[in-house]
Structure 1
Amino acid sequence: MRGTNFLSVLKIRNFLVFSVGQTISQFGDKLDHMALLALLRIYAPGPGALSQLAIAFTLPVLIFGPTSGVLVDRWNRKRVLITCDFLRAVLVIFIPFAILWTNGNVHSVYSIVFVVFLFGLFFNSAKMSIIPNLVSKKRLLAANSVNNFVGRFATLCGVLLGGLLVDWEGWGRVGWEGWRAGFYLDSLTYLVSAILLASIGIRVVRRSQVSSEERRPANNRGNGLWGFFATAFRSLARDLFETFPLIVRDRAILFVMLSILLFCFVGGSVYVLVVPLVQQSLGRGTAGVGLLAGAAAIGMMLSSFAFGMLGYRLEKRQVILVGFAVIGVLMMIFAKASSFVFLGVISFLGGSMLAPIAISQDTLLHEVVPEFFRGRIFSTREWTLNGVFMLSAVLLGVLAELISIRPVLFSVGLIVLVLSLAGEFVRGRWPGSSEGAASELHVQPKSSHD
């Protein structure tokens, strides 16, 4: 399939502008995080403040996750992206003033962070849903490879450059503290992203079916304003509950969602097992964690590029299962290793496996999910990622306290390996993907972005 690789998809003007905008916006996300850490270091030092910050940016997904997808499916996704970036730009620039007006009370910052991440939830659902409208179906894998590469590149730059920008002493010459300048720059990145997104020309097909109940005049629905909101709530709930039968009936979507559970399990184990192992057991501190995370990020970037060039030759479900099997083995080796250099190699290889898994998951969803369901599916994915990550982190943390880190990490790797092999066995007896559930609901329009 010539003309479907990583480089060729960047020749599509709309997708190129979209990718540049995402790079800038995601860089801003990480810059925002670094500025928040610098702010808390001054006004609320200690782990308690960091825990409260984590709650502030996790709660929006856990509370509004699937619901946000229902709304994104009803709205114009391009407008959602532009509006969310613009509102985030306004909110972020208010954080320094909130600290000033409240005499350093960080709880006002947590409130703003909650709303910023709420808009980020809507933004991410719309972003993932709109990609098939920018490229043709045969280029989806390449487009998702670029999207994954952009995410890792922006994260790496945001963490490295963001820290340097926030700590730069030169801001004092203009009367700014570093963290304050970080928020101003972050606001600018969101504005630039919004302007770039506004320049994209896109055709979005939205669901045309409207229930007879929704067509009825407001004065016939019930008791005035209350009746209007009751009808709107029932309609929202109906759309939300349509999501789960689709996931269960369509084998491709169900496969991806189950693999995402495993993805979260791996992520939770890394957070609560690998981080303290490197910081304390190996005595490498936070700097050591950063170096291993950097090695994993580089592996993800390189494999995103390679998979975007050659991945169309591979079967995506097999890529996911083989990738998890390799990660399981690497986790078992990590649990036994002590050489920091060797751990860096393992981290690089692990990152190299994670990127093709994530790209294959997104591409499978883009290929089979009806257009007017994409927001719900991708918001449900985000909700699952955050919820299962949190649960697995808590469970594995308790086990590590009761036993010890290395045996638990080895056991997690073994579980991942066994589940991957079991998945391959089941896949062999359950060939193909039943796309009937999706096709019954929607006929995918032919894309004009060839």
Structure 2
Amino acid sequence: MNTTNSSSTEITSRHLLINRNFALLWSGQAISTLGDFVFNTTLVVWIAIVLARGYAWTPIAVSGIFLAATFPTVLIGPLAGVFVDRWQKRRTMLVINVLQACFIAFLLLQVSITGIIHLSLLWQLSMIYLVVFLLNTCQQFFGPSTLALINSIVEKKDQPRAIGLGQLSSSIATLVGPVLAPPLLLAFGVQWALLFNMLSFVVSFSMLLLVHSSEQDKQQTNAESTHFFTEFRVGLVYLLTSQMLRTLLAVSFIAMLGGGILFALDIFFVTQNLHTPPSLYGVLDMAVGAGAILGAILASIYAQRLGLTRTLWMSVMALGVGILIYARLSSFLPAIGVLFLTGIPFAALDVASGPLLLRATPEHLIGRITALFNPIVTVATLVSSASAGYLDSVLLQHFHVVVLSISFGPVDTIFTVAGLLLLISGIYAMVNLRGNSSMKQVLEAQEDMQYEKQEV
């Protein structure tokens, strides 16, 4: 009887988390992601209200964290993919986890000795920025390796669910981490957040040790015998010549343009258009996060049945419609509902695009393709954030028109343009990916694989 119950529990566990290897990988990454969000929020609050409190340059000091996190993505990210494709993925991730834990331990040591040895504020801030830079440099190798490892340990039919579960854990961490970090920082000090993040990397390392992948035994014979920039060029050429990947890149780029606009101007939309105090701004973020949790669950269940390409373009179009509706709102409560619903296709877009990328990319190019995607998407966010701020504060500062009895101001006009761009990109994806079946993608990938071997 006990044996039967044990077997039933094991089967259920495997069904929920796909298989043993993915369950281990997902568990470690879920804890590590939560640690990252707690850590990032803690650093912002620590610098803003403890280290640099009362200084006129405090906002610049806080911005330094985001710059230190962004530079590795733009400068190192595109090049990291070549090494990811050369190296064994699981081993790379294990080494990265050790390095990340060591970097956090260094920062924890500095915090611990600050009360004993006087360290200047400039030194403390510099070390924080350095650690953030190093952690995000590691992430440029860890992220593509994770996606490649998922491709190795999860069957094609289960990959949407695998990506959905990852999106689910990330969405939960997005909600929980920023809420827990400030009160715990003020109650117990910064050391607890550093220790928690360091231990999260230890947990991730431990889980990865138990993962078994056939990828471990593959020999990278070709890659190590060719020049670095030759391998980089092969990945770039493949990205630009694959219809699926070009479409995914265009959709992701435009989606992040919209995301950057919302990130930069939403606080002004809340106070000016929704007539809501800034203290309630975080509630809207929580609404998006809650919607993303539901979207990740639904997409992981239904994306494969609906079709990944259909899920992709429908999600983008739904995002566009959501932003267009949001731009016309003038009160707070409806905005909560609209942003909650908008979070659903936001998560579904990620759930669909990950498996589509894996299916359209030969296994030995996954690292390079993924590493090229991330910087381009990051640049889209930076450009749109800066452009939106400039448009709102300079070009459209006194903009106000009425069209068909509908009033348009600076921020809602910019949001409307973002929504229309998303709608157009959804239509583009729908037309461009029509009839693009999974088998066709596999055949194209195999042909390009032969092309790469000839080129090398």
- Give the TM-score normalised by structure 1: 0.85
- How far 1:287 moved relative to its partner? 3.7
Distance 2:234 2:352 in 1: 24
Q: Could you tell which deviates more after superposition, 135-144 or 416-425? A: 416-425
Q: Is the 8 A contact 2:68 2:129 kept in 1?
A: yes
- How far 1:34 moved relative to its partner? 2.0
1:48-59 → structure 2 map (5 Å cutoff):
48-59=60-71
1:402-413 → structure 2 map (5 Å cutoff):
402-403=395-396, 404-413=410-419
Q: Is the 8 A contact 2:168 2:297 kept in 1?
A: yes
Q: Secondary structure at the match of 1:338?
A: coil
Distance 1:314 1:44 in 2: 51
> What is the match of residue 193 of structure 2?
182
1:92 matched to 2:100: no
Give 1:103's match in structure 2, choosing from 117, 120, 127: 120
> What is the match of residue 34 of structure 2?
27
Distance 2:296 2:205 in 1: 26
Distance 2:324 2:33 in 1: 32
Cα displacement string for residues 186-235 of structure 1 (whole angstroms, at most 9, x for unaligned residues)? 11111111111111111116564437xx65xxxxxxxxxxxxxxxxxx71
Q: Secondary structure at the match of 2:190?
A: helix
1:333 matched to 2:339: no
> What is the match of residue 14 of structure 1?
21
1:415 matched to 2:421: yes
For the structure 1 residues 91 and 330, does the alpha-carbon distance in structure 2 shift closer, same or farther, using more than 3 Å as the test?
Answer: same
For the structure 1 residues 161 and 331, does the alpha-carbon distance in structure 2 shift closer, same or farther, using more than 3 Å as the test?
Answer: same
Distance 1:400 1:37 in 2: 25
Distance 1:207 1:273 in 2: 49
Q: Which amino acid aligns with 1:318?
A: R
Structure 1 unaligned segments of length 5 or more: list them: 172-177, 216-233, 444-450
Distance 2:14 2:289 in 1: 20
Q: Is the 8 A contact 2:77 2:375 kept in 1?
A: yes
> What is the match of residue 296 of structure 1?
288
1:38 matched to 2:45: yes
How high is the sequence identity, in percent, across the aligned residues? Answer: 22
For the structure 1 residues 96 and 326, does the alpha-carbon distance in structure 2 shift closer, same or farther, using more than 3 Å as the test?
Answer: same
Q: Secondary structure at the match of 2:347?
A: helix
Distance 1:368 1:426 in 2: 14
> What is the match of residue 218 of structure 1?
none
Q: Is the 8 A contact 1:6 1:146 kept in 2?
A: no
- How far 1:127 moved relative to its partner? 1.1
1:131 matched to 2:150: yes
Q: CA RMSD in A?
A: 2.4
> What is the match of residue 70 of structure 1?
82
Q: Secondary structure at the match of 1:200?
A: coil
- Give the TM-score normalised by structure 2: 0.84
> What is the match of residue 352 of structure 2?
360
Q: Is the 8 A contact 1:7 1:309 kept in 2?
A: no
- How far 1:122 moved relative to its partner? 1.3
Number of residues paired by the alignment? 412
Q: Secondary structure at the match of 2:121?
A: coil
Q: Is the 8 A contact 1:88 1:116 kept in 2?
A: yes
Q: Is the 8 A contact 1:279 1:288 kept in 2?
A: no
Distance 2:273 2:428 in 1: 33
Distance 2:369 2:358 in 1: 10
1:161-310 → structure 2 map (5 Å cutoff):
161-167=180-186, 169=187, 171=188, 178-204=189-215, 206=218, 208-210=220-222, 235-279=227-271, 281-282=273-274, 284-310=276-302
- How far 1:26 moved relative to its partner? 0.3
Distance 2:127 2:353 in 1: 38
Cα displacement string for residues 166-189 of structure 1 (whole angstroms, at most 9, x for unaligned residues)? 23x2x3xxxxxx112211121111
For the structure 1 residues 199 and 279, does the alpha-carbon distance in structure 2 shift closer, same or farther, using more than 3 Å as the test?
Answer: farther
- How far 1:356 moved relative to its partner? 0.9
> What is the match of residue 163 of structure 2?
144
Distance 2:338 2:361 in 1: 35
Structure 2 unaligned segments of length 5 or more: list them: 1-11, 397-409, 451-456
- How far 1:413 moved relative to its partner? 1.1
Q: Is the 8 A contact 1:320 1:361 kept in 2?
A: yes
Q: Which amino acid aligns with 1:424?
A: M
Q: Could you tell which deviates more after superposition, 323-332 or 419-428? A: 419-428
Distance 1:434 1:248 in 2: 15
> What is the match of residue 223 of structure 1?
none
Q: Could you tell which deviates more after superposition, 386-395 or 246-255? A: 246-255
Distance 1:417 1:97 in 2: 50
Q: Is the 8 A contact 1:6 1:305 kept in 2?
A: no
Q: Is the 8 A contact 1:34 1:163 kept in 2?
A: yes
Cα displacement string for residues 364-416 of structure 1 (whole angstroms, at most 9, x for unaligned residues)? 01122111111111111111121111112112221222211111111221222
For the structure 1 residues 422 and 66, does the alpha-carbon distance in structure 2 shift closer, same or farther, using more than 3 Å as the test?
Answer: closer
Q: Secondary structure at the match of 1:337?
A: coil
Distance 1:128 1:285 in 2: 41
Distance 2:372 2:444 in 1: 18
Q: Which amino acid aligns with 1:18?
A: L
> What is the match of residue 383 of structure 2?
391
Give 2:338's match in structure 1, choosing from 346, 365, 373: 346
Tell me: higher relative CO, structure 1 or 2? Use CA pairs within 8 A at least 6 residues apart.
1
Distance 1:197 1:130 in 2: 11
- How far 1:288 moved relative to its partner? 2.4
Q: Could you tell which deviates more after superposition, 198-207 or 126-135? A: 198-207
Q: Secondary structure at the match of 1:396?
A: helix
- How far 1:421 moved relative to its partner? 2.5
Q: Secondary structure at the match of 1:50?
A: helix
Cα displacement string for residues 272-307 of structure 1 (whole angstroms, at most 9, x for unaligned residues)? 122321255545455423111111111111121112
For the structure 1 residues 284 and 146, does the alpha-carbon distance in structure 2 shift closer, same or farther, using more than 3 Å as the test?
Answer: same
- How far 1:420 moved relative to its partner? 2.1
Deviating beyond 3 angstroms after TM superposition, the runs of 4 or more aligned structure 1 residues are 96-99, 205-209, 279-287, 425-437
